[in-house]
């Protein structure tokens, strides 16, 4: 049985721990061997009326000027200031004490993330609070509001940070958000909506696989299937269907998220070690690429 566990910032041995609105027409459901119930999903157009965030404007370094309205604290005058840097489909951040990074997908006004490595400096007092706030906010796919004065607000998980663009920061040219060779690839789903899935050491984990034309997302008792093609960083999907197998495990949260992500024509972000983030309208999944021997 797949269970949801509390969010945690982890980085797996593959350097992983942790995407555009559109509509997708549902077509006829294909047969599923061994499935005792099959339902076809119908897809209505998804309309995002909020002002979109320009991905090019987001790139670069942003200095954090306030955590929940309070000025940021530092260890000492020599330590790095609290900041977040965006480069292509990756981000790096510093809370004023520890540094963290990961993969992220900008969709509409939200930044959907998969957490990555973090340094292990011992933080205390206000610095510890800042670090916990920043981690929680980034895991919650924060809402972004920007203005023409180079200022930005990010809100999520009940927190808010304010940032100011650092135009003088030296940053490398952002790599275009592009897909790995998905055809023939298989992935192990690590998190759903920012929450880790699967019990530690469990041999059963949700998985995702691709052929040149089709995809399959599988949890313990449900399989979601469809067809796909890429248009830039957007995965255009069709013929999305959900089928349930005869078992007693309840994974409704995961099953619903998988379906909702794919019917929304998700935005795709890819990391340097085969990790991916797929973000729909308010739902997202993150996964790491696996080899043939680990396929479930």
CB–CB of 112/193 below 8 Å? no
Which of 144, 165, 186 is where one domain is finished? 165
Residue 52 has pLDDT above 90, yes or no: no
Same domain, 236 and 149: no
9 in a domain, yes or no?
Answer: no
232 in a domain, yes or no?
Answer: yes
Q: Which domain holds residue 263?
A: 37-49+176-294
Give pLDDT, residue 31: 34
Tens of pLDDT, residues 202-257 = 556 789 999 999 999 998 788 999 999 999 899 999 999 999 877 665 567 788 88
Same domain, 147 and 183: no
Same domain, 151 and 195: no
183 in a domain, yes or no?
Answer: yes
Q: How many domains does the chain have?
A: 2
Distance CA 124, CA 127 (A): 6
Confidence of residue 179 (pLDDT cuts 50, 70, 90): low
Confidence of residue 114 (pLDDT cuts 50, 70, 90): very high
Which of 118, 139, 165 is where one domain is finished? 165
15 in a domain, yes or no?
Answer: no
Burial of 26-59, coded b for 16+ CB within 10 Å and e otherwise, reads beebeebeeeeeeeebebeebeeeeeebebeebb
17 in a domain, yes or no?
Answer: no
27 in a domain, yes or no?
Answer: no
CB–CB of 127/121 below 8 Å? no
CB–CB of 279/141 below 8 Å? yes
Confidence of residue 134 (pLDDT cuts 50, 70, 90): very high
Residue (of 212, 172, 208) closest to 287 by Cα position: 208
Residue 48 has pLDDT above 70, yes or no: no
285 in a domain, yes or no?
Answer: yes
Give pLDDT, residue 204: 65
Same domain, 44 and 144: no
Distance CA 295, CA 262 (A): 21
Give pLDDT, residue 256: 87
Same domain, 44 and 73: no
Give pLDDT, residue 40: 39
Residue 7 has pLDDT above 90, yes or no: no
């Amino acid at each position: 049985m797949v269970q949801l566990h509390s969010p945690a910032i982890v980085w797996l041995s593959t350097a992983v721990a942790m995407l555009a609105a559109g509509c997708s027409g549902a077509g006829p459901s294909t047969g599923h061997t061994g499935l005792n119930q099959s339902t076809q999903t119908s897809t209505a157009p998804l309309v995002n009326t909020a002002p979109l965030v320009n991905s090019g404007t987001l790139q670069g370094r942003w200095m954090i000027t306030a955590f929940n309205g309070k000025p940021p604290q530092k260890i000492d005058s020599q330590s790095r200031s609290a900041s977040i840097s965006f480069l292509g489909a990756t981000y790096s951040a510093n809370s004023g004490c520890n540094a963290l990074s990961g993969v992220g997908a900008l969709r509409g006004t939200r930044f959907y993330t998969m957490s990555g490595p973090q340094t292990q400096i011992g933080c205390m007092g206000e610095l510890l609070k800042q670090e916990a706030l920043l981690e929680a906010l980034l895991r919650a796919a924060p809402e972004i509001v920007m203005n023409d004065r180079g200022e930005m607000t990010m809100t999520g998980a009940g927190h808010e940070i304010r940032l100011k663009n650092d135009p003088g920061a030296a940053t490398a040219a952002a790599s275009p958000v592009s897909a790995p060779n998905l055809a023939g690839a298989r992935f192990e789903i690590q998190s759903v909506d920012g929450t880790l899935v699967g019990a530690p050491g469990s041999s059963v984990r949700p998985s995702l696989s691709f052929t040149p034309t089709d995809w399959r997302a599988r949890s313990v008792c449900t399989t979601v299937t469809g067809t796909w093609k890429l248009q830039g960083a957007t995965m255009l999907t069709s013929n999305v269907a959900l089928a349930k197998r005869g078992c007693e495990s309840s994974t409704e949260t995961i099953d619903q998220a998988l379906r909702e992500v794919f019917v929304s024509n998700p935005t795709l972000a890819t990391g340097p070690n085969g990790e991916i983030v797929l973000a729909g309208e308010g739902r997202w999944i993150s996964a790491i690429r696996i080899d043939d021997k680990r396929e479930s």
